[in-house]
Amino acid sequence: MSNTLSYMIQINSNVDKAAASFNKFSNGVQKEIGKIQKKLNSVSMESFINNVKSAAEGIASMNDPGMKLSTSMYDLQAITGVTGDKLKEIEGYARQNAKTFGGKAADSAESYKLILSKLSPEIAKVPKALKLMGKEASVTSKLMGGDTVAATNVLTTAMNQYQVSLADPIKAAKEMAKMNNVMAASAKEGSAELPQIAQALEQSGLAAKTANVSFEETNAFIQVLDKNGKQGAEGGIALRNVMATLAQGRFLPKDTKAELAAAGVNINKLTDNSISLAERLKPLKSIMNDQALITKLFGKENNSAAIAMISSIDEAERLTQAVSGTNTAYEQAAIIMESPEEKNKRLQAQIDDFKISLFNGTNGWLGYANVISSTASDLSGLVPIMQGAGKVFSFMTSATKMQALWTSIVTGATSLWTGAQTAFNIVMAMNPIVFIVAGVIALIAVIAVVVSKTEGWGNAWKHTINGAKLLFMAYVQTVKANFNLMVNGFMIGINKIQIAWYKFKNAIGLGNKADNNAQIAQLNAQVETRKKSIKDGYKKAGNTALEAAGEFKAAYDSVKWKKEKKTDEGISDPSIPGASKTPPALGGGGGNGSGKKSNEAVATGGTKHNYITIKIEELIGLKADNVSGGKDTAKQAGEGVADELLRTLAMAASATG
């Protein structure tokens, strides 16, 4: 018969020691958290929100020049079909033009687009020609208050009305430069400004070109008519009608021809396209005072314009000479660009060019800055709510709550298993670190009672460990799901904005409708994928939590209370040391002089050599602890368990930061 007895020792006395150590630990944690909280409170929430908004607005400002230029270049590509290196070359010219004249690179690109639309998209195949024409538009814009679009319209109108050949784009660009200087000089010498000159050219330019009237002389007569009250389009119509009358020549009414011949007017000279318009009009000076004949010749609608032109022939010739071969546009632009405002514009253009480089360097990702700015502002407004959530989390894991949990478990240890499901529901709403500590405490407090009073403990233990692991997995999966919700929720917002943009493009007829719809379909698919990802994340966490609940329930179902049974000799199964049963008398015994030992004798080793082994299985970080010995075994067991508990608490402290 073996002389070794095995006993389970209840070590409630060591729980008190662990409780004291835990109180010290929790107080230290609470103190440090308090320090951190004071530092956090020193930061103004309003200041934080403003900083978020300012940063987002700063990024949006960095994005703006690049975004606008990029948009213009895509439009230019759509108009011309030019791609690759030539498109990059044009973009480079637009940026350089902005730095030279001060302004936005996007405006230079818009000027290019207008030139191509008004003249010919084929010019884009010769980027240098487009650069030269864009330069002329920028020069003219300085004379028109910085209005690049209006300046481009003036130049392209002149080019189109005079049917400048575009077969050689470089040569055409030089002709544009000549016209630019002529119109600038005309505006300087006369009363009609550039917008009025353009309006007049729209009505008379083609007729003047057909009649072989030079661009310089046409401008001269536009100024003459403007000074005599025929301004803008009205002057252009008057000039066109007078030239049309002169061109009739032999087809004039017989009586009119007869009257002109009688006055000494040579009809053939009126129609001679080899001479200037002024020379053609000079023969009519002799009839200028004959109102009836002038009205008969030009009609009552145009007689005043004809008289103004005939009477101002000398001035027209002077103006023609004055506007020829000048650099007036460049000279005037150079003077204007010396102003402080213009210098600031060029400085700003340099800065904007740097921003464009950043935009291009990020491959356009900076383009989402405006969306991010708005979203950041919205999210920063939620900071107070997030801070409140942080306080709730802090409250749930505070030392006070931990202490309350400790006390309730220790005082109600023996009833823990009967309320397993309720306890699990509470734990599910808390940080898993709390569950670990609670589980260890409960284990120490009730292990003796549970093991001695129940059966099926092994299965219960296995299910408990599995449940704890699953609970941790559910917690991690929930954190991941929350993060996934934040990221994908944000990206869904971005997708929705993009979808709205493509729908807007369809509504206004911008871009290819089929391509827009394809983009919308692709974005909708992305939204659905993100929604599914969010849903699956929470579903996975929920399923894991249900599995954990099942393990805890299985643990509960595995434990059965033992029924004390009688042996054949009528002797009851021995109770555990420390139980409330009345022990037999010390020294009592049978005929051979042997008897049962008292609880105290067993606990202290008695007179018989006994070995007591206590083994605490691993529970999420609590390692197995085996204690064997004789007289001091109980004390060693308690100290070992307390040490293991303190180590676990230290791990909890480290895990919670």
What span, in angstroms and rounded, lies between the C-alpha atoms of 277 and 281? 6
pLDDT, tens digit (0-9, with 9 covering 90-100), for 294-346: 999 999 999 999 999 999 999 999 999 999 999 999 999 999 999 999 999 98
In a domain, 548, yes or no: yes
Domain count, the chain: 2
Residue 616 pairs in a beta bridge with 625
Assign 560 to helix, strand or coil.
strand
In a domain, 450, yes or no: no
Q: Mean per-residue pLDDT for 184-194? A: 95
What span, in angstroms and rounded, lies between the C-alpha atoms of 562 and 456? 10
Q: What value does the CA radius of gyration of the chain take, rounded to a whole number of Å?
A: 49
- Range of 535's domain? 462-558
Residue 252 one-letter amino acid: L
Most confidently predicted of 68-77, 175-184, 359-368, 462-471: 175-184
Task: List Cβ neighbours of 251 (8 Å cut-off, separation of 6 or more).
Answer: none
The residue with greater pLDDT, 440 or 7, is 440
DSSP 306-347: HHHHHHTHHHHHHHHHHHTT--HHHHHHHHHTTSHHHHHHHH
In a domain, 646, yes or no: no
Looking at every residue in the chain, the average pLDDT score rounds to 73
Single out the residue in 494, 526, 558 at which a domain terminates.
558
pLDDT for position 213: 96
The H-assigned helical ranges of 431-512 are 432-453, 457-508
List b or e across 210-219, with b for residues whose CB sees 16 or more CB atoms inside 10 angstroms: ebebbbbbbb
pLDDT for position 623: 44
In a domain, 487, yes or no: yes
In a domain, 629, yes or no: no
In a domain, 60, yes or no: no
What span, in angstroms and rounded, lies between the C-alpha atoms of 649 and 647? 5
What span, in angstroms and rounded, lies between the C-alpha atoms of 559 and 94? 82
The strand pair at 614-616 and 454-455 is best described as unpaired
Q: Are 15 and 410 in contact (CB under 8 A)?
A: yes
Assign 572 to helix, strand or coil.
strand
In a domain, 217, yes or no: yes
Q: Mean per-residue pLDDT for 4-26? A: 45
**Any idea what DSSP says for residue 415?**
G
What span, in angstroms and rounded, lies between the C-alpha atoms of 650 and 586? 45
Single out the residue in 558, 588, 616 at which a domain terminates.
558
pLDDT for position 470: 76
φ, ψ for residue 642, nearest 5 deg: -60, -40
In a domain, 236, yes or no: yes
Single out the residue in 263, 296, 325 at which a domain terminates.
325
Query: And the tokens for 81?
Result: 């079909």
pTM for the predicted model, two decimal places = 0.52
- Within 13 Å and on the Cβ side, how many CA atoms surround 339? 12
pLDDT, tens digit (0-9, with 9 covering 90-100), for 222-231: 999 999 999 9
Q: Shortest CA distance to 287 belongs to which of 278, 277, 297, 279?
A: 297
Q: Shortest CA distance to 182 belongs to which of 64, 389, 320?
A: 320
Task: List Cβ neighbours of 131 (8 Å cut-off, separation of 6 or more).
Answer: 90, 93, 97
